[in-house]
Amino acid sequence: MNNMNENFDAFDEYAMKFDFEEDAIRRKYEHSYRVMRESDAIVYSLGLEEDDSYLACIIGLLHDIGRFEQWTKYHTYSDRSSVDHAILGAKILFDDNLISKFNLDKKDYALVRTAIENHGTYKLYEKGMDEHTLLHSKIIRDADKIDILYQFSNPKIVRLEEENNNDISKVVKEKFLKHQCIDKNDVKNKNDGTLMKIGIIFDLNFDYSKNIILEREYLERMLEYLNNKELFKQYIEEAIKFLKGSDR
């Protein structure tokens, strides 16, 4: 990646200030690099120019930079019970001027900030975004979700919580079957939370993202280690059907 080495150095210098003895910190560091690579793969699949590859890689590398401080201060990655990690990351980068350590043209600051601030929102609010900013906001959202599903498919990284004694709430079930993302406010139990995580596929923007999840069999691997396979089997099958959909 052209000119990215100094960005890797700057990112590592910042990240290494935190406690890598903690799995949560180390996982976010590794996640950041994987999301960067997925962002670059999406750009390649779209046939975009090298400048867009560079931008997407910087956004991917920096999208979760707020997580390090969030975990260190609050010992949680729950934005609801601590702070919005995306807004915190943008503040650290642009208000505290950490971005000056990265090789990024100032003309791209607004685009990068917007993409980072919007990467984890329930829905992407496109109002007021120019076409280029919207494109990169979609790229980082997809890249992030691809790696989130990778983590969910690997119990050594993240083990999904689910309960055998609870069904899935009516609203959550209905939204999923309508291929709608599930709002955290609708989640009433751990089974709802697991279905919400599977349902992030309904917010994917690009064919590459859908195809790579199918190719790597992330959803099938998730089902393998869920205790309540009978409950989730139909939803995993519905999700796979969606990813294979003819409407693409």
Q: What is the DSSP string of the chain?
A: -TT-HHHHHHHHHHHTTS-TTSHHHHHHHHHHHHHHHHHHHHHHHHT--HHHHHHHHHHHHHTTTHHHHHHHHHS---STTS--HHHHHHIIIIIS-GGGGS---GGGHHHHHHHHHTTTSSS---TT--HHHHHHHHHHHHHHHHHHHHHHT-TTT-PPP--TT----HHHHHHHHTT-PPPGGG--SHHHHHHHHHGGGGG---HHHHHHHHHHTHHHHHHHH-S-HHHHHHHHHHHHHHHT-TT-
Over the stretch 27-41, which tens digit does the pLDDT of each residue have?
Answer: 999 999 999 999 999
For the chain, what percent of residues have pLDDT higher than 70?
98
pLDDT band (50, 70, 90) for residue 246: very low
How many domains are there within the chain? 2
- Of 152, 173, 204, the domain-final residue: 152
Residues 58, 13 share a domain: yes
pLDDT score at 2: 54
Domain range enclosing 136: 1-152
Residues 15, 32 share a domain: yes
CATH of the domain at 21: 1.10.3210.10
Residues 133, 177 share a domain: no
Residues 66, 100 share a domain: yes
Residues 132, 171 share a domain: no
What is the average per-residue pLDDT within 219-224? 95
The pTM is what?
0.95
